[in-house]
């Protein structure tokens, strides 16, 4: 079933898979700070406008972009870890890349406020007190 916080994290992932910016923004706090492992510009995306810009940046760089969620894990403090594989295909090169990663999400008032990405998904689980 999952916790309400896990549903928010999964909802954001599903919005990514549908390339649905409007739905993604609905899951986000107005002051969200988002950093992707595949961030095109290497910067944090701030606020709802930042999330919209992230979708634009990704659409410009990748012909295909989706996430495959393997696990979510709620922490006692309300944060949520997510383990997923990101699948992308370059728009110009056609080269494909798949990378398993993790994120730890902090929520505020039931919306995504901040994330910390981890190239090692087990590190994300350990960050929230879960043994991989």
Is-above-0.85 flag for pTM?
yes
| CB proximity list for 88: less than 8 A, separation 6 or greater | 38, 62, 64, 65, 96, 97, 98
- pLDDT band (50, 70, 90) for residue 61: confident
pLDDT at site 37: 77
Q: In whole angstroms, what is the distance from residue 12 CA to residue 14 CA? A: 5
Least confident of 15-29, 32-46, 65-79, 96-110: 32-46
pLDDT at site 1: 66
Q: Is the pLDDT of residue 91 over 70?
A: yes
Between the alpha carbon of residue 85 and those of residues 43, 51, 109, the distances in Å are 21, 20, 27
- pLDDT band (50, 70, 90) for residue 40: low
The per-residue pLDDT for range 66-89, each reduced to its tens digit, is 999 999 999 999 999 999 999 999
- For residue 64, how many other CB atoms are within 10 A of its CB? 12
Phi/psi at 48 (5° precision): -60, -40
Domains annotated for the chain, with CATH where assigned, are 4-127 (3.10.450.50)
Asked if residues 73 and 130 have their Cβ atoms less than 8 Å apart, the reply is: yes
Q: What percent of the chain has pLDDT over 90?
A: 89
Q: Is the pLDDT of residue 98 over 90?
A: yes
Sheet strands side by side (includes 45-46): 45-46, 28-34, 111-118, 96-108, 80-90, 62-74
Q: Where are the alpha helices (DSSP H) in 4-92?
A: 4-17, 21-26, 47-61
């Amino acid at each position: 079933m999952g916790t309400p916080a896990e549903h928010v994290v999964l909802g954001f992932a599903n919005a990514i898979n549908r390339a649905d910016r409007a739905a993604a923004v609905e899951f986000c706090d107005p002051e969200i700070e988002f950093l992707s492992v595949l961030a095109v510009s290497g910067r944090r995306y701030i606020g709802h406008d930042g999330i919209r810009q992230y979708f634009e940046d990704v659409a410009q760089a990748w012909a295909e972009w989706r996430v495959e969620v393997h696990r979510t894990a709620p922490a006692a403090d309300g944060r949520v870890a997510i383990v997923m594989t990101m699948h992308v295909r370059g728009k110009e090169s056609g080269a494909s890349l798949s990378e398993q990663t993790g994120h730890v999400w902090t929520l505020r008032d039931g919306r995504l406020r901040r994330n910390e990405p981890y190239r090692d998904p087990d590190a994300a689980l350990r960050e929230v007190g879960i043994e991989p």
